[in-house]
Amino acid sequence: MSNLFFLVLVFTTPPTPEPKPTVALINLDHPGAGEFARVQTMLALQPAIRLLSETEFKPEQQASLKSTLQAVAAYPDPLVRAVLEKHRVHLKIDRWVILTVRGLYVQGPGEGFSGPFAVPGPKGRLSEAFLLLLQKPQPPVRRSSTGDLAPFYRNWLFWTGVGVIVGGLTAMSLLAQEPTDVDVHVFRR
């Protein structure tokens, strides 16, 4: 009876849905507040993604990050992308959507970024290519078996061991030597 109950339970339980990619939106240098609100609303209405809420990414955090990035350089600069990547990992999001004067950009894990895409007008829509980039699943992180370890000869322990062994062998060889010719001087009084 319990096996039958277990089978019914297994086959009637709905499968857990795949987690949606988490996206955060930031306005770096676009002057229009209406465009930002429009893009934010359009992203919030997308069923295949989860937009980071204001409780998760507070306006104070956004303003601080925005001022830091503006002090560094304009958006596609590698240093700005590196800062955003650091914050992406810290906030545990999958992708950034960056609103700039030149358009919308999507930045994903690592060095991956795409854009600019057109900012939709009052009756416009987000482009399909833009939405597909946001919905793309994040590639699994694969760690190599060797890792990014330095070679053994760059380790200080290796060279300390080499020094101890060489020093010990030198001391042993000096102590083990037998004198071959010894000068004996005898003085008589």
**Chain segment 55-73, per-residue pLDDT in tens:** 888 888 888 888 888 888 8
| pLDDT recorded at residue 17 | 63
The structure tokens listed for 14 are 């709905």
Residues in CB range of 97: below 8 A, 6 or more apart: 23, 24, 25, 26, 39, 43, 104, 105, 106, 134
Quickly state the pLDDT bin for 168 (edges 50, 70, 90): very high
Most confident of 90-104, 134-148, 175-189: 90-104
| pLDDT recorded at residue 35 | 85
User: In sequence order, which ranges of 13-155 are alpha helices (DSSP H)?
Assistant: 33-44, 59-72, 78-91, 128-135
Question: Is residue 97 a contact partner of residue 26, using CB atoms and an 8 Å limit?
Answer: yes
pLDDT above 60 for 143: no
| Cα–Cα dist 99/87, whole Å | 16
